[in-house]
Amino acid sequence: MSEFDDLYREVILDHYKSPRHYGRLERPDGEAEGQNPLCGDELSISVAYAGDTISDIRFEGRGCAISQAATSMLTELVIGRGIAEVAAMSKDELLAEIGIPLTPVRLKCALLGLGVLKVALHRSAGTPLPEEWANLGQDLELR
């Protein structure tokens, strides 16, 4: 496997070219958007709840392959899971799913979607925004 394939593994390219759950929910229970000013990545995420679980999710955005593919992968990870559980989900779980080593600059791209989702959950369901995201949130200029 060449380094190229190693970095942009087929699965990442696949998610980048055919993003899952792309778009915006018509009647979302929660929404947030965020950007990474370093490279201009932009994302918006809308979620719907069924009781205590995330029943549906959509994302829209533009930016680098890592940010868009990672968010697409994230949507598959969280559908059907508890709101509180996702709000507490570690960065490592998503990074393991992405599965390739990332430099610090690219790490911000990869984690943008998770940060935006946590802000959406925090705003709509009152889940805590954990400490580790507080700093990241500043970096990412989440709004």
Partner 1 sequence: MGASRVTKTAQGPLTGEGVAATRPTLDAHRQRADFAYLEELVNGKPLAYLDSAASTQKPRQVLDALREFYEHSYANVHRGVYRLAERATEAFEGAREKARAFVNASSTREIVFTRNATEALNLVAYAWGLDNLRPGDLVVVTELEHHSNFVPWQYVAQRQGAGFRYIPIDDSGELQLDALERIASEGRVKVVATNLVSNSLGTINPVEKLGAWAHEQGAIMVVDAAQAAPHRPIDVQALGCDFLALSSHKLCGPSGIGVLWGRQELLEGMAPFNLGGEMIRKVTLERTTWNELPHKFEAGTPAIAEAVGFGAALDYISAVGLEAIERHEHELTAYTLGRLGELPWIETYGPPAERHAGIVSFNVEGVHPHDVAQILDWEGVAVRAGHHCTQPLMARLGVAATTRASFYLYTLPEEIDRLVDGLHKVKQHLG
Residues that bind partner 1 (CB under 8 A): 2-4, 7-8, 13, 16, 38-42, 62-66, 105-106, 109
How many angstroms separate the CA atoms of 62 and 6, rounded? 23
Closest distance of CB 58 from partner 1, Å: 21
Closest distance of CB 62 from partner 1, Å: 8
Closest distance of CB 6 from partner 1, Å: 9
Chain-centre distance of CA 42, in angstroms?
11
- 39 versus 129: smaller Cβ distance to partner 1: 39
- Per the CB < 8 A criterion, the answer to whether 6 and 100 are in contact is yes
- Per the CB < 8 A criterion, the answer to whether 75 and 114 are in contact is no
Q: What is the DSSP letter of 18?
A: S
- 13 versus 50: smaller Cβ distance to partner 1: 13
Closest distance of CB 64 from partner 1, Å: 4
Show the tokens assigned to 8.
Answer: 């942009």
| Encoded amino acid at 5, one letter | D
